[in-house]
Amino acid sequence: MWCPTPLRDSSRRCLAVIVGALCLATAAHAQPRGPETRAVDARLAELSPADEAFLQAYKYAAQNQADKFDGVDDKVTNDHPLRSYIDYWALRLKIGDPRGESSPAGLEARIREFLQRHAGSAVADSLRRDWLLALARRGEWSTFALEYPQLQSKDDTQLQCYDWLGRTQQGQPLADPVREALFQPRDLGEGCGQLLELLAANGTIKRADLQRRLWLSVEANAPGSIRRLAGLLNFDPAHTEQALMRPEKAPLAKFDRELRVIAIARMARNDVGFAAGRLEALQADLPAAERAFAWSQVAAAGMRKLSPEAMSWTRLGLPAVVSDETLVWFARTALREQDWKLLRQVIERMSPRGRADPTWVYWEARALRAAGDTRRADDLLRRIAGEYHFYGTLAAEDLGGLFSAPPRATPPTEAELAVPAANPGFARALKFYALGLRPEGNREWNFQLRAMDDRQLLAAAEWACRKVILDRCVNTADRTSTEHDFSLRFITPFQEQLTPVAKERGLDSAWVYGLIRQESRFLMDARSSVGASGLMQIMPSTARWIAKKLGVADFRVEQLGDMPTNLSFGTYYLKSVLDDLEGSPLLASAAYNAGPNRPRTWRSTLPQPVEGAIFAEIIPFTETRDYVKKVLANATIYSALFSGEPQSLKARLGTVSPRPQSASELP
């Protein structure tokens, strides 16, 4: 049983999880009928002929097999909840290969009819996006200009660039947002690349701008964009390829100086020490600006590898004109060394957007405190102290308050709950989930949330919990801005299974819940791209090791879909890494995500003891850094909900001291 309310409030309604069915009010003593995977398997085993045809059509559409698609699409009946997707895929296949259509005008008429019939839906927005991309590639700018404003999800940078490309070709001046989008440290992509080429050709963008964009591409390690910029700057194509693909063997003395810098930067990502040596040998031949930029890339790579020379390289790279992409690595270098003056200097150079990130708001405040400027530090901390994330929690604690959950918003009324229940987009999402197509279901679900206010979000979250769509329950409740219900954000399913096994292992159940919330969002059938399975996302090789340790005979990987097995194996491994790392939840969380040897390596590179928050921020893997911060913030919140008492995140983080490198015996 689980209760989407703090456990201490026994007067609040509990919802019993009956997997594959609705959560039923007042069923306080009901038991789950079985793991969610069994319910999903049962549903898939009872597919209707229309569902089977739909899944076949889905496969053929994804593989662009138009001939096979045409053989099954008619088997999906018109009353099927996802019939609109069959019609969408049929049109998408025609857009991708219009030769099968009798005339372009006929295809356009079919597209417009579909868009009108399904106006305001996720599937219509998907078709419009596909059509816009095809229009841009064919240069049909008049039609593009009519359709682009009607696109509801304008989060595709390439479509934005195509929009600006069409406007530029019609003589409109370059707007500031266009320039800002072009000059970001990321791959240009085809749309933005074509726009940049046009602006270079008509003289709007000068050679100095192109050189600046080249360095942004180097910072982002985007070889496609580097090649495009190198072509616009008239570099030797063969030398460009050598700098990108074989930098350690490239005859740098023969290259343009920009290509030397590119080669050094690419080299540094594989062997930073070798790159530093090459740079030292040729730096006298580089102008000061390019020399500093080259050192900045060596320094960033050095910090990603936690090299002891990262600080000296950072000081050489400090004069460089670089983006936040590089400055955050400078800041982490300063954090590792606890050089608060340098940290403040680096943060002050970040863009307004970068400096406003809660991470750097918090650390700038800490740097100000170290300098004795408590007033300004506290002003910064107050900006984020009311936000429910890792740095918001730390900021509140630095201001003297431990974490307590906010007051619970008034629960949704039955009238409010009737709205998501009647939403056809949510119905489509549930059908996708029933067919095992979770990404497609999530796309439908999230499309419905775009314009919802807090009350509507809370109603949708509660309805998702009642439908046992636990990840959508959590993610939807997470979106509220002023009215919050932490019983929905931080649900506690499977208590009767999880609490005893956590206690048996000697684990804090709040930490286990915090980890599962991040690993799987409580989806029993969650499966990662690398094969991790179930609630606690256990890898097959790790599961086999655990099975041997626990004496489980004839173990099969498929058993990870069984909730008791998954919880038993996952908590056993979590306790193993906790013991292996001297009882540190911080290091153990990192080990659970990145393997037990990596936290040992990272710890061995520390020049001095650091507080846990510093160690979390200097983790060189982006995924693990984000994971650790979220797991421990989750655990703090769950602990407050379970105990009814304010909780300290800093106490969970502890401190981390350097220790000699040693290998773990754990997998």
Candidates 1.10.287.3510, 1.10.150.120, 2.60.40.10, 1.10.530.10; correct CATH number of 495-656? 1.10.530.10
What whole-number distance in Å separates Cα of residue 394 and Cα of residue 401? 9
Please name which of 657, 649, 556 lies closest in space to residue 605, comparing C-alpha atoms.
657
Place of tokens 């490309």: 165
Query: Is residue 519 among the annotated active site residues?
Result: yes
Give pLDDT tens digits for 492-516.
Answer: 999 999 999 999 999 999 999 999 9
User: Which pLDDT score, from 0 to 100, does residue 19 have?
Assistant: 31
Mean predicted confidence (pLDDT) in 328-336: 98
pLDDT beyond 90 at 620: yes
Give pLDDT tens digits for 352-406.
Answer: 999 999 999 999 999 999 999 999 999 999 999 989 999 999 999 999 999 999 9
Place of tokens 């991790």: 532
Strand 24-25 versus strand 655-656 pairing type? unpaired
Mean predicted confidence (pLDDT) in 429-441: 96
CB of 490 within 8 A of CB of 484? no
Where exactly are the structural domains of the chain? 48-153, 495-656
What's the length of the chain?
667
Residue 291 vs residues 55, 486, 548, 616: alpha-carbon distances, Å: 56, 51, 55, 31
Which position among 519, 558, 611, 623 bears the catalytic label?
A: 519
pLDDT beyond 50 at 16: no
Supply the DSSP string of 300-352, one letter for each residue.
HHHHHTT-TTHHHHHHHHTTS---HHHHHHHHHHHHHHT-HHHHHHHHHTS-H
State whether residue 606 is helix, strand or coil.
coil
State the pLDDT confidence band at 22, using cuts at 50, 70 and 90: very low
Give pLDDT tens digits for 197-216.
Answer: 999 999 999 999 999 999 99
State the pLDDT confidence band at 43, using cuts at 50, 70 and 90: very low
Instruction: Provide the b/e sequence for 313-347 (b: ≥16 CB within 10 Å).
Output: bbebbbebebbbbbbbbbbbbbbbbbbbebbbebb
State the pLDDT confidence band at 98, using cuts at 50, 70 and 90: low
State whether residue 426 is helix, strand or coil.
helix
Give pLDDT tens digits for 266-299.
Answer: 999 999 999 999 999 999 999 999 999 999 999 9
User: Which pLDDT score, from 0 to 100, does residue 552 have?
Assistant: 96
Round the average pLDDT of the chain to a whole number and report it: 92
User: Which pLDDT score, from 0 to 100, does residue 104 have?
Assistant: 83
Mean predicted confidence (pLDDT) in 624-642: 98
* Whole-number percent of the chain with pLDDT over 90: 88
Supply the DSSP string of 534-553, one letter for each residue.
TTTTB-HHHHHHHHHHHT-T
